[in-house]
Amino acid sequence: MSLEYCPYTHTSPPICFINRIEEIRGDVVELIKHALETKKRSCLHWGNQADCGGSMCVEILAEDQHSVKVEIDDWGGCWGGVSLYIIATIPKKLIVSSK
């Protein structure tokens, strides 16, 4: 069974229209590619002398022929900050075709 499995659809690969990721781009794509290659958690960190900084990490939770399930953890800010935590199943075609 594909990670993208959706009940009531019988396509190959399965197509899901609920919670579907339409596009993904930028540094997170490179992190996903690196994590897929190394099979390890992949991170980018940034910072400067003004007490600003952040990080974005990707960990592969599962993978099949058509998709990859990833944990994306992101934090950034100055003297505080914001964070983002997502677990998503992403079609591999979006990762391979992304520029």
For residue 35, is it within any domain? yes
For residue 40, is it within any domain? yes
Residue ranges with strand state E in the chain: 42-47, 52-63, 67-78, 82-91
Mean pLDDT of 34-40: 95
Among residues 36, 39, 70, which one has the least CA distance to residue 56?
A: 70
For residue 12, is it within any domain? no
Among residues 27, 32, 60, which one has the least CA distance to residue 46?
A: 27
State the pLDDT at residue 18: 55
Q: For the chain, how many structural domains are there in total?
A: 1
For residue 78, is it within any domain? yes
Which residues constitute the domain of residue 48? Answer: 27-97
For residue 6, is it within any domain? no
Output the CA torsion 86→21→14→98 (10° steps): -110
For residue 3, is it within any domain? no
For residue 57, is it within any domain? yes
Model pLDDT for residues 45-87, shown as the tens digit of each residue: 989 877 889 999 999 999 988 889 999 999 998 877 889 999 9
Among residues 42, 35, 43, 84, which one has the least CA distance to residue 63?
A: 35
